[in-house]
Amino acid sequence: MAAMNIVYHYQGKLYVNLTNRCTNRCKFCIRYTPSGVDGIDLWLEREPRADEVKKALEENDFTKYPEIVICGYGEPLMRFETAMEVCRYIKDNSTAKIRINTNGHASRVAGFDVTPKMEGLVDTVSISLNAKNAAEYNEICVCQFGEDGFYEMLDFAKKAAKYVPEVVLSVVDVLPEEDIEQCRRIAEDCGVKFRVREYSE
C-alpha cells in the first residue's frame, strides 16, 4: 500500500522523496525490489507539493543534518522546479549541503538547459553513468530516450559543472576493470569527478 514517506532517514542522512517517476527502467532499480530502502515504503500515493515537502522537512528536524539528499524512489529531477523550490527552502533555513542523485535527464525532460538554475542551490550532483557507452547504457537502463539518454546525461554533467561545485559521475564496482577505466576517462572528458560505488543488494 502506498504511503507518504516524503522525507526519510537512511544511514545518518536525510533524504527527500519527490517522485516515483523516472525516464529509465534500470534493471537493477530498487523500485523493483519488494523491500524498499531499509524497510521504508517509498511508493508515494501521489507526488507531494512543495509545501508538503517543507512541512515534512520541518517535522524531521532538517536543520540538524549536515547534508540533505534529494533522491526519491524515482528520478527527483522529473520535478525540477519543485526540487529547486525545496533546495531554496533548505538553503534559506539551514546550513545543510544539498546533494541531488540523478540520472541526468532533467534538461531533456524540461525541454531546455536547466543546469544554470542549480547555481547557489545545489552543492553536489551525483549522476549514475552506469556504462561505458550508449548501447550498454540503454541495455541496462532501458531509457525512454533510447541511446540518446546516455548522451543527454553526459551533456547534463558537463553543463552542471559550470554551476554546481561538485559533479560526480559514478559506476558500481561490479563492472569489469577495463570498463571502469573507460568510464573514468569519460568523466575526465566531461570535466567532472568520478566515483566507483560499492554494489549493495
Tell me the three cell numbers of residue 5.
514517506
CA-CA distance, 82 to 77, in Å (whole number)? 8
CB of 29 to ligand SF4, least distance (A): 3
CB of 139 to ligand SF4, least distance (A): 13
Q: What is the DSSP secondary-structure string of 91-117?
A: HHH---EEEEEE-S-HHHHHTS--GGG
CA-CA distance, 161 to 126, in Å (whole number)? 11
DSSP code at position 184: H
* Position 16 contacts ligand SF4 (CB under 6 A): no
Using the contact rule CB under 6 A, the part of the chain among 3-11, 18-26, 78-86, 168-176 near ligand SF4 is 18-26
Helix and strand numbers (H, E) in the chain are: 6, 7
One of 60, 74, 127, 157 touching ligand SF4 (CB under 6 A): 74
Using the contact rule CB under 6 A, the part of the chain among 4-12, 19-27, 50-58, 109-117 near ligand SF4 is 19-27
Number of residues counted as binding ligand SF4 (CB under 6 A) = 10
* Position 75 contacts ligand SF4 (CB under 6 A): yes
Site of interaction with ligand SF4 (CB under 6 A): 22, 24-26, 29, 31, 74-75, 103, 141
